[in-house]
Chain A
Amino acid sequence: MPIIEVENLSKIYRTQKRLPGLGGAFKGLFNRKYTEVRAVDDVSFSIEEGELVGFLGPNGAGKTTTLKMLSGILFPTTGTAKVMGFTPWERKNEYRRQFALVMGQKNQLWWDLPAQESLYLNKEIYGVSDEAYRQVMDEMTELLQVKKLLGIMVRELSLGERMKFELIASLLHRPRVLLLDEPTIGLDVVAQKNIREFIKDYNRRTKTTILLTSHYMNDIQALCERVVVINQGKKVFDGKLDAVVEQFSQTKLISVTFKTGGVSREQLAGLGEVLEITPVKAVLKVSRENVKKASNAILNQFDVDDINIEEVPIEEVIERMFKEGAK
């Protein structure tokens, strides 16, 4: 049985529509007009225990809204969700003790105290036993290399260090389901990598089910085999990350190195879109069905040293997917 089951989940926000300008503001006092925004539109998916799934979509696609419904902060307009058999928005304590939501920009640590105090507070809130607490603390502070920082005021920590403590605070009670909303947002590349590696390792060792949103493709590529892509509230893809490319990219890239230079853009133009050209090297974008024909033609017409056929980088594919969806 899946640990997370979402069926036909929709969330419609009603927002007040205001006419522009001062006049509009006054009119709005008496005659309010509302518009409906479908933040999440009939989304269904299910996640098995132990999976690490990436939740992908541009800003405003409905990722965070979905996570908020799964963590019980928001009621859906229609549809159902079950997480570990619980309906999240009933907010049962038993449910709240078994999951965690980490929001990259929302802080749960107390600013004017050392991190260890906030961690201890969380231990008590979740009713974690002393022994389990010690065990988790030893392990996590070691893994994330923050043991020495436990006694430092939170306000004096860097963003990356705070994020690490934020993660520890959320994992003290060993949640079975971990929802991560942009865990690496605002972090530098090194800190991003640290957090990413930790999440991957944690998922592998503990079999904790993780649903992660991020708009850094690097995060998703490094962590998730499976992705659920949503755009404008609708689910547009659910499957292996590699399959995104196959399904959404109609083109491949051919890179050629020539033995003798002097190949011009015009000579290649008929074969595909020329993305890059130097006297000895060229990159062409060619539609999938034409790849064979184009590479044969190149091999026949030019003095080729090396030829390489690659998929378009996933980042580009997804970016295009979003753009097309937005039209």
Chain B
Amino acid sequence: MSAGTASVSKSPFHKYWVILSTRTQEDMSYRANYVFGAIFRFLPLVTLIFLWYAVYQSRKVIGGDLTIKGMTFNDMITYNALMYVARGFSSVPGTTSDISKDIKDGLLNRYLIRPINYLWYQVMYRLAHKLVFWYVALFTFPPIFFLMRHYFSHVPTMVETGAFVISLVTAFCIGILFCFMIGTLAFWFTEISTFLFVVMMIEFFLSGQMIPLNILPQSMQPLLMLSPFGYEGYWPCAILMGKVPQDQLAQVLGTGFCWVVVFYFLGQVLWKAGLKRYSAVGG
């Protein structure tokens, strides 16, 4: 036996696969937590149904248009239900705070000394969360969607379904890369929780979780349509509901892809600059 005899085996990507599977195993031990989350996360939907019902009723009473910018009451409910699917991909809870904690508490050291890429580590770690989430959701989402079936009026085409799947992948990429970027701010600021709260509120609004982006004022439309946050909620829903004309699908998906690339490189720049600072001032 002698030192330094470790030999390299398998492809360099194999380790990231093992991170994914190990974290999935760990996450599975909290599956009860996921089940609760998967069921009770739908409670706000009940409120939303009543709220939008009131809105549409009042329009009926005053004899106004029964659609809001082309959205019927049923569309509105479908949109809010689909938002749960979109958020199931774009939301990566705890990522920003975990990253900033790693930086602040010096836990980053354990990644820096090992032959591993921290961003890819985080991506795998969060992907595992999504896997377990969807494993549980496969049992909880269908019954709820079945109960709501009479709200769904549009049958998506093959193209729309394909575009929807691509938009969900984009949603995950933008979600995690954005969290990563914000998390790296901890290299410069010791306390980012207030800032984080503000950012999350803006993200919440601009992603269309509160109100569908297309019914917001016309003057805001160019900004809303081009913003990266729409890909975290609005676009996947709009695509599957057939609200995006087929000839615009490529442009929408293309813009989303561009945002993924931009966020990736911005994240890398912030990470490298931050690491330089971290290594200079103390770990």
Contacts and interface: CB of A to CB of B under 8 A. Distances in A.
Interface of A: 13-14, 65, 68, 71-75, 89, 91, 93, 96-101, 103, 106, 108, 110, 112-113, 117-118, 120-122, 124-130, 132, 135, 139, 172-176, 205-208
Contacts of A127: 6-10, 12, 15, 115
A125 B116 contact: yes
A18 to B, nearest CB: 13
B150 interface: no
A125 B115 contact: yes
Nearest to A203: B3
Contacts of B18: 120-121, 124-125
B149 interface: no
Nearest to B280: A75
Contacts of A65: 282
Closest 4 CB pairs of A and B: A173-B6, A124-B18, A127-B8, A93-B115
Given A74-B279, A96-B114, A127-B10, A112 B4 contact: no
A99 B166 CA distance: 42
B225 interface: no
Interface of B: 1-10, 12, 14-15, 18-19, 22, 25-26, 29-30, 106-107, 109-110, 112-116, 276, 279-283
Contacts of B19: 121, 124-125
A242 B60 CA distance: 95
26 contacts: A68-B283, A71-B109, A71-B113, A74-B279, A75-B279, A93-B115, A96-B114, A97-B6, A98-B4, A100-B113, A106-B109, A113-B29, A117-B25, A118-B22, A121-B22, A122-B114, A124-B14, A125-B15, A127-B7, A127-B10, A128-B9, A135-B1, A176-B3, A205-B1, A206-B2, A206-B3
A174 B6 contact: yes
Contacts of A110: 22, 26
Contact of B112 (A14, A91, A97, A99): A91
B281 A132 contact: no
A101 to B, nearest CB: 5
Given A89-B279, A106-B107, 10 more contacts: A65-B282, A73-B283, A101-B109, A106-B110, A124-B10, A127-B7, A127-B12, A139-B1, A174-B2, A175-B4
A73 B282 CA distance: 8
Contact of A108 (B110, B276, B281, B282): B110
B114 A125 contact: yes
Contacts of B26: 110, 112-113, 117
Nearest to B4: A176
A205 B3 CA distance: 10
